[in-house]
Amino acid sequence: MGAQQPDWGVRESETATEALGRIGDRRAVEPLIRVLSNADSHVRESAAAAEALGRIGSDRAVEPLKRTLNDADRDVRSSAAQALDTLGWTPDIDEAAAAY
């Protein structure tokens, strides 16, 4: 029988997401991308994931962050744009520039 996942609330998940960004270990990139891409993810969690991905600095995060520029929530879009700035990304087409 596998280990059970903890029943975390939004606050605990957001705190864990922020900690992964502060630690800066590139092994956290894929789990953070999953948080960012999760349709059930709460806004604060997604924003924290975008910020963490920017801090870690992996090029692997660019495409998921670009997709997040179209998120329904302004805070999530803003966090994604800031993370992309940190990663040195600039839009190369007008559509991406408009979302950015």
pLDDT in tens, 2-43: 455 555 566 667 777 777 778 778 888 998 898 888 877 676
How confident is the model over 86-98, as a mean pLDDT? 79
pTM of the predicted structure, to 2 decimals: 0.76
CA angle 83, 72, 38 (to 5 degrees): 70
Q: Could you tell me the residue ranges of all domains in the chain?
A: 10-99
Structure tokens at 17: 């997401």
* CATH superfamily to which 10-99 belongs: Leucine-rich Repeat Variant (1.25.10.10)
pLDDT (0 to 100) of residue 24:
74
Structure tokens at 35: 């948080």
